[in-house]
Amino acid sequence: MGELLDKINKENDIKNIDENEYRRLAREIREFIINNVTSTGGHLASNLGAVELTMALHLCCDLPKDKIIFDVGHQCYTHKLLTGRKEQFKTLRKFNGISGFPRISESDCDVFDTGHSSNSLSLALGLCNAREIKKEDYKVFAVIGDGALSGGMAFEALNNAARLKSNLVIVINDNQMSISKNVGGMANYLGKIRTNKKYNNLKDSVENAFAHLPGGDQLTDKVRGAKDIIKRVFISGMLFEDMGLTYIGPINGHNVPQMVSAFNSALNMNEPVIVHVCTKKGKGYKPAEKNPRKYHGVAAGSGGTKIETYSDVVGSTLIEMAEEDERIVGITAAMPDGTGLTPFMKKFPDRSFDVGIEEEHAVTFAAGLARGGLRPVVAIYSTFFQRAYDQMISDVCLQKLPVVFCFDRSGIVGADGSTHQGIFDTSFLKSMPGLTIMAPADKFEMKEMLKKAVEIGGPVAIKYPRGEAIVSSRFRDEEIEVGRCQVYGDSAAGGAGSNKKVLIVAVGNMVHRALRVRDELTKSNIDAVVINARFIKPMDEETILSEGKKYRNIVTLEEGVLTGGFGEEVNSLFKDIDG
């Protein structure tokens, strides 16, 4: 067990493994990943599907001289194993441990700190052009999934790729999945290529026949134009080649020698080449093969009691609302499970839209729905909403359209690392014109805020954290009023200049922490009052100022960056007050 993997202690060691042992090495890598990820947590199905693909890439590269760019990067575990990081896997996704994504700080073999999708082609084009300008010589591979290929940025890069005058190998890792099953035109297009045996069988037959004839190479060149015609007969569109890109495939993504041959053929061309590789997400682990959505990411320990998350509350509340209001529609970007919208989509398929990995489109699409008289609710992770900043301002806020933005996983999300933290949303949302920003303190407020958001009739953002929805009776004593906060404690007990009086102003999931702090302070005979902000914008300046003037000590609690944050704005309210 692990004998072959034990021989790989640094980059390029895989080249010392005999070709007849590739299948065995792949099994050892899968066993290692399964054993470790089910313990530490991490992305499982995507990594199991990319084992042989990564092996083939490493066999064709001289690392770290050559460059492999993994789109998103959550499928990089085999890459990390093959570059000498096996012993560090017990620290995967832990503080000061190795990341679940490529990180330059970990290895010279990691080209970029990736984490978001659809950017690998643009990065690769930049590297290739830098290589040309500096007259350097190294290979560049960009690995992009079929789900990420649907992102607008990937199309922008493809549009520019044909202008490149040197080699770039674009590997499409086609497993028919992003996190959930892929949707849209690109998924259908790749499906047609994937399943079209007629053209591929004919192509192989013609090329094999010519190979055995005198002057076969010349004959192959002469019929290239005819072959293009044949392609158009069997596969309508030929999108990639019509864009000026050479296409090779589809290739079996679990056959290492076949991929190595295809990659070497692509490297021999002085131009961008697309190699279409078909893999199975979750390969080698039956539960993940049967349910790749469930095993896309697994928590440490892989088990435990099912909890109700804020995402679940959003989904169930939307169903309640949609049953009473036919204008309600739900939108997500390739994450119906993660955002809790799956039950809503099953209940109201005609009022549900999974647009794929296309956050910018999701927002402007919602603007069109709102302009048409509907009430769209867009549920996307906070970190991915960043990509739709322009669309939120220009297409929704400036138009004063009634779109509700559900910022899932707002705040600190933990193990996924820097690219996934939802800590910037308050800062970039506050400047958006006419946008109301809410942050619920518990399950009850989450439900009520979602209902209130639709009633407001303008653009609204609701920020809520990853994980269990807090259930508390403390937040149910009054109706949610737009722009008004809640005060907990005997504010009359405060006194100006008193060192034993503390005002804590908290946002969202930090409110219950603030109340626990208040309880601890009370044990030490320190009186404290807690304000549940509820609304970041418009802020309840009147109440915060009124309460704040009574105390020497004012503390703000939020999950976010200081610059542009809620605390910074509270501080500015008191800048002209002495003491």
Residues 6+ apart with CB under 8 A from 125: 157, 160, 161, 164, 168
Residues 6+ apart with CB under 8 A from 32: 2, 5, 81, 86, 89
**Rounded Cα–Cα distance for residues 463 and 383 (Å):** 12
Bridge partners for 528 per DSSP: 502
Strands 328-332 and 436-438: unpaired
The answer to whether 175 touches 283, Cβ cutoff 8 Å, is no
3-class DSSP state of 181: strand
**Is 481 one of the annotated active-site residues of the chain?**
no
3-class DSSP state of 346: helix
CB atoms within 10 A of CB 542: 11
Which residue bears the tokens 């939020």? 558
**Is 231 one of the annotated active-site residues of the chain?**
no
Burial class (CB in 10 A: 0-12, 13-18, 19+), 337: middle
First and final C-alpha spacing in the chain: 68
3-class DSSP state of 273: strand
Q: Which two tokens stand for residue 340?
A: 């809790």
What is the CB-side half-sphere exposure of residue 450 using CA atoms within 13 A? 29
Bridge partners for 462 per DSSP: 406, 438
Q: What are phi and psi of 180, to 5 degrees?
A: -100, 180
Q: Where are the alpha helices (DSSP H) in 223-353?
A: 224-234, 239-242, 256-267, 286-290, 310-324, 342-347
The answer to whether 239 touches 212, Cβ cutoff 8 Å, is no
CB atoms within 10 A of CB 63: 22
Of residues 80, 86, 281, 550, which has the active-site annotation? Answer: 281
Q: Where are the alpha helices (DSSP H) in 481-540?
A: 511-523
**Residue 140 falls in which region: left (phi positive, over 0), alpha (psi -120 to 50) or beta:** beta
Q: What are phi and psi of 321, to 5 degrees?
A: -65, -40
**Rounded Cα–Cα distance for residues 205 and 198 (Å):** 11
Q: What are phi and psi of 530, to 5 degrees?
A: -115, 135
Q: H-helix or E-strand containing 556? A: strand 553-557
**Is 281 one of the annotated active-site residues of the chain?**
yes
Of residues 11, 28, 359, 445, which has the active-site annotation? Answer: 359
Residues 6+ apart with CB under 8 A from 218: none
What is the CB-side half-sphere exposure of residue 74 using CA atoms within 13 A? 26
Strands 527-532 and 140-145: unpaired
* Alpha-carbon distances of 335 from 28, 48, 144, 344, rounded to whole Å: 31, 20, 18, 13
**Residue 284 falls in which region: left (phi positive, over 0), alpha (psi -120 to 50) or beta:** left
The residues assigned a catalytic role are 281, 359, 387
